[in-house]
Structure 1
Amino acid sequence: MTDQQPLHTPRSLIVTFYGAYGRGNAGGPAGPVPIAALIRLLGAVGVDSPSVRSAVSRLKRRGLLVAGRTPGGAAGYGLSEGARQLLDDGDRRIYGRPSARTGHGWLLAVFSVPEHERHKRHLLRSRLSRLGFGTAAPGVWIAPAHVHEETRHTLERLGLASYVDLFRGSHLGFEPTAESVARWWDLDALAAQHRAFLDAHEPVLRRWSRRKPVPPEAAYRDYLLALDRWRRLPYADPGLPAGLLPPDWPGSRAARVFAALHARLRDAGERFVAPALA
Structure 2
Amino acid sequence: MTDTGAAAVLDDIDARPGSTASLLRTLIGLYLRPLGGWISTADLVALAVDLGIPAAQARTGITRLKQKGLLLAERRDAPGYRLDPSAVAMLERGDRRIFEMREMTDADAWCLVSFSIPESARSVRHQLRRRLQWIGAGAVSAALLICPGHLEGEVEETVAGLGARDWVTLFRGAHPVVEGSVADAAARWWDLAALRAEHLAFQRSLETLPSAPFAAYVHLLDRWRVLPYVDPGLPPAMLPADWPGRRSVDEFARLSAELADAAHAHVRAVVAAS
TM-score tier, shorter chain, comes to 0.7 to 0.9
| Alpha-carbon shift at residue 30 of structure 1 (Å) | 1.8
| 2: CA distance, partners of 1:100 / 1:90 | 19
Q: Number of aligned pairs?
A: 257
Q: 1:81 to 1:150 in 2, by over 3 A?
A: farther
CA contact (8 A) 1:202 1:257 kept: no
Show structure 1 runs of 5+ residues with no match: 209-217
Alignment partner of 1:108 is 2:118:
no
Give the distance between the partners of 1:109 and 1:49, measured in 2 at CA: 45
Conservation of the 8 A alpha-carbon contact between 2:109 and 2:149: yes
RMSD between aligned residues: 2.1
- Which 10-residue stretch deviates more, 45-54 or 154-163? 154-163
- Which residue among 175, 178, 188 is the counterpart of 1:173? 178
Equivalent position of 1:196 in the other structure: 201
Q: CA deviation at 1:85?
A: 1.0
Structure 2 residue 28 is matched with structure 1 residue 44: no
SS in 2 for 1:66: strand
Counterpart for residue 13 of structure 1: 23
User: Which amino acid in 2 is paired with 1:16?
Assistant: T
Change (3 A) 1:188 1:152: same
- The residue matched to 1:103 in structure 2 has which SS? coil
Aligned to 2:10: none
1:64 aligns with 2:70: yes
1:30-67: CA deviation from partner (whole Å, max 9, x where unpaired): 22222211111111112123332332333233322222
Counterpart code for 2:261: D
CA distance in 1, matches of 2:126, 2:262: 41
Greater shift, 244-253 or 93-102, is seen at 93-102
Q: CA deviation at 1:237?
A: 0.4
Check the 8 A contact 2:112/2:170 in 1, yes or no. yes
Query: Equivalent residue for 2:102?
Result: 98
1:78 deviates by 2.3
**Distance in 2 between the 1:122 and 1:69 partners?**
40
Match of 1:264 in 2: 258
Distance 1:149 1:9, change over 3 A: same
TM-score, normalization by structure 2: 0.86
CA distance in 2, matches of 1:55, 1:161: 35
Counterpart of 1:102, as a letter, is D
Separation (CA, whole Å) in 1 of partners of 2:191 and 2:225: 19
TM-score by length of 1: 0.85
In 1, Cα distance between equivalents of 2:188 and 2:131 = 19
- Distance across 1 between alignment mates of 2:80 and 2:161: 24
Alpha-carbon deviation of 1:270?
0.9
The secondary structure found in structure 1 opposite 2:74 is strand
* 1:89 pairs with one of 77, 88, 93: 93
Partner residue in 1 for 2:232 = 238
The answer to whether the 8 A contact 1:16-1:224 is kept is yes
How big is the shift at 1:202? 5.2
What does residue 168 of structure 2 align with? 164
SS state of the match for residue 69, structure 1?
coil
Distance in 1 between residues matched to 2:82 and 2:126, nearest whole Å: 29
Q: Aligned partners of 1:59 and 1:129: how far apart in 2? A: 24
SS in 1 for 2:233: coil
Q: Aligned letter for 1:50?
A: A
Partners of 2:87 and 2:164 lie apart in 1 by: 17
Partner of 1:148: 152
Tell me, yes or no, if the aligned pair for 1:220 and 1:272 is still in contact at 8 Å. Answer: yes
SS of match in other structure, 1:174: coil
SS at match of 1:102: coil
4+ residue stretches of structure 1 with deviation over 4 A?
none
CA distance in 1, matches of 2:71, 2:100: 25
Change (3 A) 1:125 1:56: farther
